[in-house]
Amino acid sequence: MTRALIVKQYITRLTEGWLELESDPGLFTLLLEDFGVKGVQVEEIYDLQKSLEGPVYGFIFLFRWIEERRSRRKIVDQSEMYVNDEEIVNNIFFAQQMVPNSCATHSLLSVLLNCANIQLGSTLSRLKGHTVGMDPENKGWAIGNSPELARAHNSHAMPQAKRRLDKSSGVSTGRYTGEAYHFVSYVPINGHLFELDGLKPSPIDHGPWDNGEDWTEKFHRVIADRLGEKYNDIRFNLMAVVPDKRLALTHRLNMLRTNRQIVLDALQQLVSDRCEGGDEVSLVIGEEIKDYTTPIVIRTSEEDKFIVIRVPKGDKQEESQGLQRTFSPKDLLALLKNLDSEVSSTEASLREENDKRRRYKIDDCRRTHNYDEFICTFLSMLAEQGKLTELVVPPSVVPKKVVVTKRTQERQNKKKTKQRRRK
């Protein structure tokens, strides 16, 4: 067998054997890492009414898919805002699901490849460049025939998913069976909220969001209407694709530590000047700094012996003028205390995010590990030692052991002896 044939068979097994994945934010976050994406994570949404902190790249909605329900929705589908303009559809990364069980990867790619300023990595960047201008069907085949994506996707599947695939002989759990769970993406594109579902012929345009509101508010209204429909099942899951919180926390922590060191240096300089001059330092109360991550510049005023803190702003004109605030040593000590509190709080948040990422990896190992061999060996050893029956058979079926005391045994022996003498 030639090397080319071996490679071809390997690729065929990968692309034809996509496995079903669970809806888990940790799994999706690790899948992003395997794709080569940096600076992005997936968070589960528990409360639709609660506003999200920071930017959101897109939402992934998991719902129960029933084929019978699909036929009942045909009339409803006609009123949905399908985008029929081929040029618009082909310029959006919208891919029809051509390969069974690949909807989890489809939902992630529908968000990632329609957002700017995301570090996609070499694999997804190559896929995005290769599929520019393609129609949805060819984009779907491009995803399904990508060995890198298939390998990363299947590496997070449970062993039961492989057994289900073998049993069904490759029939999809997402597109061709009567009941399954399906992933759909909601993404902001060119000022409009789009619903990208690989099982539908084209994207659905839910229209623009109102002036002065974020696109996520428009999404909340759309998803609330969808969950309120009488034909929908209450079992669903919602996840948000957001920037990696660890990056923002690390940047915040570095800025806080820098500002803390600046305040410490200013206090040391002030104490030194006070010792040399012997005069009391003027107590001048200044404005309170609310954002401790804002870069600050401190200098000492020789005339009045107080500290002036300059907080640069984003606007260049304001930055050139500077925002000067007068602080006394007492104020600086209070500022230092607040900075210490902010540093501790940010460090705790960063530790929590790192611990969460480690738990994701541990859960993934437990999810993908095949326990069949261990369980079979364990049960075989119990059977060999005669202990399996006690564990399997109900207690009412197992005959009870009669406990005979020593005194009872002596009585029985005497009784047997008398019976033998009579004979």
Q: Which residues are catalytic?
A: 103, 182
Q: Vertex 33, ends 31 and 36: CA angle to 5°?
A: 115
Please answer whether residues 28 and 105 qualify as being in contact, where contact means their C-beta atoms are separated by less than 8 angstroms: no
What span, in angstroms and rounded, lies between the C-alpha atoms of 240 and 226?
Answer: 17
What span, in angstroms and rounded, lies between the C-alpha atoms of 196 and 210?
Answer: 21
Please answer whether residues 245 and 282 qualify as being in contact, where contact means their C-beta atoms are separated by less than 8 angstroms: no
What span, in angstroms and rounded, lies between the C-alpha atoms of 170 and 192?
Answer: 37
**Closest to 96 (Cα-Cα) out of 110, 117, 82, 83:** 110
What span, in angstroms and rounded, lies between the C-alpha atoms of 423 and 419?
Answer: 7
Please answer whether residues 136 and 94 qualify as being in contact, where contact means their C-beta atoms are separated by less than 8 angstroms: yes
Question: Is residue 327 helix, strand or coil?
Answer: strand
Q: Hey, what amino acid is at 162? A: K
Question: Is residue 192 helix, strand or coil?
Answer: strand
Please answer whether residues 322 and 367 qualify as being in contact, where contact means their C-beta atoms are separated by less than 8 angstroms: no
Please answer whether residues 72 and 84 qualify as being in contact, where contact means their C-beta atoms are separated by less than 8 angstroms: no
Please answer whether residues 389 and 398 qualify as being in contact, where contact means their C-beta atoms are separated by less than 8 angstroms: yes
Please answer whether residues 367 and 156 qualify as being in contact, where contact means their C-beta atoms are separated by less than 8 angstroms: yes
**Closest to 24 (Cα-Cα) out of 64, 59, 62:** 62
